[in-house]
Amino acid sequence: MSQDQFSAHRHSDETLSLRPERTAVLTVDMLNDFCIDGGAMVLPGGERLYGPQNAVNAAAREVGSAVVFLIDSHRPNMRRERELQKRTPHCTEGSWGAQVVDALDQKDGDIKVLKRRYSGFFNTDLDLTLKDMQIDTLIVMGVVTNICVRSTVHDAFFLGYQVIVPEDCVAATGPREQVSSLYDIATHFGWVSNSAEVIAALRDEGVIRNKEIPA
């Protein structure tokens, strides 16, 4: 399928150079409620992300990039919880469902940010934390591509960050939503790559090339 006429108006230079000390990896909502049998809203196939995500986070730690886990966490007894007006109750604060899955490696130096909306930036201290660390480039991974990942990518772009999404480190609610979201991210908000290229660029301060996503 050919690219839509509007989105075809883009820069020809689609590369981004990574500087590890200015880069952070955001892992979005890899939580028991979304990933583990018995969770409130399990995304089928989410377990395939564990290996690539662990590899990216390990490479980030090796070269001194920040590793951040974004954690959906909803306080009980809220009268008007916007996210829960649309979705089944999930990720209650302090519960098993709101914990990062055991399959993902976590280290003492990792940063955890709680969020109560789809975006990791909305009314959290994520932006302030990244700015204090002089971060300007984000690698965003997690679930789900077309909701929380995408919302976080949008806000990161609006706030001036360069954003990379490794396609094998994110999963959507379905194939259509995955392709559509990655297409829009690559076309309008950032770069789409894969875990192997991101790891190589982190270790060698190399270049990320934007993937061509079919329209």
- Write out pLDDT tens, residues 45-73: 999 999 999 999 999 999 999 999 999 99
Q: What is the pLDDT of residue 1?
A: 41
Given a contact cutoff of 8 angstroms between Cβ atoms, the answer to whether 50 and 162 are in contact is: no
Check whether 12 has a pLDDT greater than 60: no
- Write out pLDDT tens, residues 148-172: 999 999 999 999 999 999 999 999 9
User: What proportion of the chain, given as a percentage, has pLDDT over 90?
Assistant: 80
Those residues with Cβ within 8 angstroms of residue 32's Cβ, 6 or more apart along the chain or in another chain? 38, 39, 96, 97, 98, 99, 101
Check whether 2 has a pLDDT greater than 80: no
This prediction has a pTM of 0.92
Check whether 6 has a pLDDT greater than 90: no
Q: What is the pLDDT of residue 11?
A: 59
| CATH assignment, 15-209 | 3.40.50.850
Rounded CA separation 47/39 (Å): 13
Q: Report strand pairing: 137-143 vs 170-171.
A: parallel
Q: Where are the domains of the chain?
A: 15-209
Q: List residues with catalytic annotation.
A: 29, 115, 148
What average pLDDT does the chain have? 92
